[in-house]
Amino acid sequence: MLKKSIEKAINQQINAEFHSAYLYLSMSSWLQSVGMAGCANWMKVQYQEELAHATHFFDYVLERGGRVTLAPIAEVTVDFKSVMHVFEETLKHEINVTGLINNLMDVAIKESDHATKSFLQWFVDEQVEEEANVEQILNNLKLINGEGQGLLMMDREMQSRVFVNPFPGKA
């Protein structure tokens, strides 16, 4: 059985994950509108990953006898200055999500909830990977000044990214 403090914190994280999904779908739309189909695809895969994360948290609360309470999703940015700006905002967002996951882990540690700590460790590790992936994209964008033929090559490369459910056997 989940303690109420853990249940409340995970419910907040569920909302944050849905917000992330919504943000990345918005970014995908903007990228598509400026002709960057590959980058739009990359963001759409991010959207799918965030939905999977939200669903995994959702299922965990129910599995532990808790109650999921969904809250409204905050408004997201819909316009961006450039492809570089999109990925700068993505990195800022991922750094924020890392903080949220770390805070959630702190609650689990404080409550001595070892099952939740075990569950959260995957997300701690995932955030290291998320930040590193976006930093690499930003480094590449900086090398090409975020424009020209280099940007077109990056866009084509990003088209090949596909969603792989990180939780096989789950929704």
* Three-state SS letters, the chain: CCCHHHHHHHHHHHHHHHHHHHHHHHHHHHHHHCCCHHHHHHHHHHHHHHHHHHHHHHHHHHHCCCCCCCCCCCCCCCCCCCHHHHHHHHHHHHHHHHHHHHHHHHHHHHCCCHHHHHHHHHHHHHHHHHHHHHHHHHHHHHHCCCCHHHHHHHHHHHCCCCCCCCCCCCC
Phi-psi region of 165 (alpha: psi -120 to 50; beta: other; left: phi over 0): beta
Q: Residue 134: its pLDDT value, please?
A: 98
Say yes or no: domain 4-158 is CATH 1.20.1260.10.
yes
Distance CA 8, CA 67 (A): 9
Mean per-residue pLDDT over the chain, rounded = 96
**How do residues 82-91 score in pLDDT, each as one tens digit?**
999 999 999 9
**Cα angle 165-141-48, degrees, rounded to a multiple of 5:** 15
Residue 115 pLDDT class (50, 70, 90 cuts) = very high
Distance CA 113, CA 77 (A): 36
**How do residues 16-58 score in pLDDT, each as one tens digit?**
999 999 999 999 999 999 999 999 999 999 999 999 999 999 9
Domain ranges of the chain: 4-158
Q: Residue 168: its pLDDT value, please?
A: 84
